[in-house]
Amino acid sequence: MVELTAPVRSVVGDRTAKELGARLGVHTVEDLLRHYPRRYYERGELTDLSSLRPGEQVTIQATVVSASGHRIRPKLHKLDVVVTDGRSKLTLTFFNKHWLADRLPAGTEALFAGKVEVFRGRRSLTNPEVHVGDADSFAGALQPVYPASAKLASWQVEKSIATVLDLVDAVPDPLPDAVREHRGLLPLSAALRLVHRPGDRSDVRRAQQRLRFDEAFLLQVVLARRRAEAAGLPATPRVPADDGLVSAFDARLPFRLTDGQHEVAGEIAADLARTRPMHRLLQGEVGSGKTVVALRAMLTVVDSGGQAALLAPTEVLAQQHHRSVTAMLGPLAERGLLGGSEEGTRVVLLTGSQSTAARRRSLLDVASGEAGIVIGTHALIQDAVDFFDLGLVVVDEQHRFGVEQRDALRAKATVPPHVLVMTATPIPRTVAMTVFGDLDVSTLTELPAGRTPITSHLVPVGEKPHFLDRAWERIREEVAAGHQAYVVCPRIGQVDGSDADGEEPADGPDLQVVPDPETEPALRPAVAVLEVAPSLIEGPLAGLRVEMLHGRMPSEAKDDVMSRFASGAVDVLVATTVIEVGVDVPNATAMVVLDADRFGVSQLHQLRGRVGRGEAPGLCLLVTDTEAGTPARDRLAAVAATQDGFELSRVDLETRREGDVLGATQSGRRSSLRLLSVLRDEPVIVAAREDATALVDRDPHLFANAELRHAVDALLADERSDYLEKA
C-alpha cells in the first residue's frame, strides 16, 4: 500500500506530479488528500458570471448559447463559444480547436477552466479547458471544484485524488476523542471522504466543520503551549523609582496623556511589576501615542536599574526613533554630559551601517549599563551586542520581527526580559486570537485631542487626467503656505540597470496585498522615485526644493535627507514606503500617492498617517488609473472614505485570499489554514481555543496524545518560517 508520506509521483504521472507540486503545493499523498475542493456545483447550478474578476484563474459551470468558428489565417482557426449563467454572457475563445464545436452544441452544460481576461472591455476566457460531464457522474451528486492551475484543471486534480481516496482510513486523527464527541464532530476519515465525495450539501457542511475545527485546534494548541511556556519563565519585576525618570518625564511632557494612554500605561506597569515576563501587543492607530507609552515603560525599567531596547524594522525608523526619543527626554537623556540631568540616562543608537568607531562606543555604553535605552535595527540582535541588564524589549511594527528574533534578543538577558510589541495596523479580534494568540493585547482607540483630521481624495487620472495637474497645484499651495509634502511611489526605479527592492520593506501578514503572479493581471510597471523626482523638478514642481528618499540610498544619505526634511530645508520628499511607519514631521501636510492601487489598504492608511501630525489639517491624494468598478478602485474608494483603521483592516482582509491574511503565500507553499477563515469563523476559533487551553493545562507536553504531538510538530516545522514566526 502507498504510504501517506509517499511523493505524489508514486500515484500520478510525472507531468501532473510536477504541476501539483509547483503550482498547488501538493507534494505527498497526504497533501493530495488534504487538497480540499474550493466549492461544489450541483447539476444545473451555474456560476454567477458577473462575479468573475479579471486575472482570476476560474472554474465555471455554464450553459452553451452558441458556437461559431472561422478561419482567420490559413493555419489559424478561431472558435467563439458564448456561454451564459441565465443572466450574463461570457465569450470563450478557442484557437485551432474547431472540433470542440461538435462537443458543445447549444444547451450543453459544462465546466470551463481558464484565466479571466478583458478584451475590448469584455471579459473572456482564451483556450479554457473544457469538461463536459457525462450524464451519470453528475446524477444526484455534487461536482467538486478544486483549486487548480492553468495547466491542471479541477477535474484532473479530482482524478488524482480519486487514486488515493482509499487511504483516508490511514490518516492519523490528532483530535482527542473526548473533544470530538463534545463538539459533535465527524471522525477524520469520514470527514476526508465526504469533503471529496459528498452526497449532498449537509455532507459538505459536516465534513468542513470537522476539518475546520482541526485547523483551529492545532493552531490553538501551539499557542496555548507557547503561553504556558512563557508563563513558566522567571522575570525581574520592574517598578518606577519615587521621583525617578518616569515622574521627571511626566513633568516634562508638553501635553496630558489621554485616558486611553493612562489605561494602557497602567496595564503595562502592572505587567512589568510581575515576576514573569510581560508579552503584550500594543495596537493603536498611527499617531495614537504608542511611542510615548512605550517610552514610559522603558523609563520604568531604567528607574529600576535595568535597560530597555527598542527595535525598529528599518534604519530610517531607528534613526527617527533615536531623534524623537532623545528630543522627548531632553536633559533626561544626557547623563554625564554638561548640563545633563544627574538622574538621567543615555540613549544610544545601534545600526548595521554605523561607523566602526560609533558602533564601538555604543556597544561599550550598552555593555557597561551607561546607556539605559538602546535603539536599533536587527543589528541589536547580533551576537556582539552585550547588555548589562536588559529588562525590556520594545518591538515597533511587530510584523517584521519573528518569534525567533524575539527569542534571540531574549537570550541576551540573564533573566528573560519583558516584551512589548507595537503595531499601528489594527487587528480584528479573531486574527489577534489566531496570529497573536500568545500575546496579551492593549489597544489605544482615541487619537490625542487637537489632532487634525486627514482629508483623502481619489484622483482618477484614467477618466480625469487634468486632476493630476490640480494635485501638483495643491502641493505648490501647501508649500507656499509654509508646509511640506510627500510624494510616494511604489518603486525605486532603475539605477545601472538594477531594480532590486533594496530596503523597501517586505511586508508581513497584515500589510500590503501581495500580487499573486497566478491570478493578478499583468500591469505596466509602477511609477518609480528615480523617474518621478526629476520629472517633477523639471515640470510641475519646478523651483521647489524636491529630494528623494528610498531604501537603496546609503544610510548617511537617507539620514541627511530625513533630517533636512525634518528641519524644513526640503519642501517635497519623493519617497518609497520607507516613510511608511514612524516618520514624524508635523509640518508635512500633504501627500500624493502615485499608483495608489499598488499599495494595500492598511499600507495606504499607514502612509497617510505621515501627514496631519501637526496643527494644520492633512491632505492625502490617491492617484490611480484603475477603472471605476474594479476591486482595486473600490479598495481605494474605501480608504478615501474612512479614517477608521479597524474598518479599513476589515476591508483589507476581506479583499484577500485567506492565506494572505496569515502570511504572504509564496507560490508552491500552502498555509495550514485551508478551510478556516480567521475572519468569519470566530465561534470555531473560540471553541478550539477553549479546548486547546484545557488540554494543554492538563498535559503541556501532549504525552497522552502522540498523534496530536506529531501534528503540532509537523505544523511548527512547516510554518516555522511562515506566519507563526511573524507573530
Binding site for Mg ion (CB under 5 A): 291, 582
The alpha carbons of the chain give a radius of gyration, in whole angstroms, of 29
Whole-angstrom distance, CA of residue 16 vs CA of residue 22 = 10
Contacts of 546 (CB under 8 A, 6+ apart): 533, 536, 537, 570, 571, 572, 573, 574
Stretch that binds ligand ADP, among 51-59, 284-292, 428-436, 692-700 (CB under 6 A): 284-292
Among the listed residues 726, 435, 245, 89, the one whose alpha carbon sits nearest the alpha carbon of residue 81: 89
Return the bridge partners of 89, or none.
84
Tell me the per-residue interface mask from 244 to 283 with ligand ADP, x by CB under 6 A, - otherwise: -----------x-xx--x----------------------
Q: Compare residues 257 and 367 and give the one whose CB is closer to ligand ADP.
A: 257
Q: What counts of helices (H) and strands (E) characterise the chain?
A: 25, 21
H-helix or E-strand spanning residue 339: none
Determine the size of the site formed for ligand ADP (CB under 6 A). 15
Tell the smallest beta-carbon distance from residue 76 to ligand ADP (Å). 59
Could you tell which of Mg ion, ligand ADP, none binds residue 95, using a CB distance below 5 to 8 A set by kind?
A: none
Nearest distance in Å: CB 172, ligand ADP: 47
- Answer for which of 37, 289, 376, 645 binds ligand ADP (CB under 6 A) is 289
Closest to Mg ion by CB, 306 vs 582, is 582
- Cβ 321 to Mg ion, closest distance in Å? 8
Nearest approach, Cβ of 581 to ligand ADP (angstroms)?
A: 8
**Is 326 one of the binding residues for ligand ADP (CB under 6 A)?**
no
Residue appearing with cell numbers 494543554 = 696
Q: Which of 147, 284, 313, 437 binds ligand ADP (CB under 6 A)?
A: 284
Residue 451 CB, shortest distance to ligand ADP, in Å, is: 7
Q: For residue 98, what is the enclosing H or E element? A: none
Q: Which long-range contacts (CB under 8 A, 24 or more apart) does 643-646 make?
A: 643/453, 643/454, 645/285, 645/286, 645/424, 645/425, 645/426, 645/602, 645/605, 646/426, 646/428
Residues 6+ apart with CB under 8 A from 311: 376, 377, 378, 380, 381, 393, 394, 395, 396, 401, 409
Nearest to ligand ADP of 2, 257 (CB atom): 257
Interface with ligand ADP (CB under 6 A), residue from 288, 430, 442, 672: 288
* Diameter over CA atoms, the chain: 93
Closer to Mg ion by CB, 67 or 295: give it: 295
Of 437 and 612, which CB lies nearer to ligand ADP in the complex structure?
612
Q: Is 618 in the site for ligand ADP (CB under 6 A)?
A: no
Site for ligand ADP in 572-591 (CB under 6 A): 584
Closest contact distance (angstroms) between CB of 265 and Mg ion is 16
List helix spans (H) across 26-176: 29-33, 100-103, 135-138, 154-162
Residue 313 touching ligand ADP (CB under 6 A): no
Return the H-helix or E-strand segment holding 310: strand 307-311
Q: Least distance from C-beta 359 to Mg ion, angstroms?
A: 25
Contact with ligand ADP (CB under 6 A) among 448, 502, 540, 568: 448
- Rounded distance, CA 107 to CA 300, Å? 76
Query: What residues numbered 374-433 form the site for ligand ADP, per CB under 6 A?
Result: 424
C-alpha 505/C-alpha 314 separation (Å) is 8
* Degrees, nearest 5: CA angle 722-723-727: 130
CB of 288 to ligand ADP, least distance (A): 4
* Smallest separation, CB 285 to Mg ion (Å): 10
AA identity, residue 669:
R
- What is the binding site for ligand ADP (CB under 6 A)? 255, 257-258, 261, 284, 286-292, 424, 448, 584
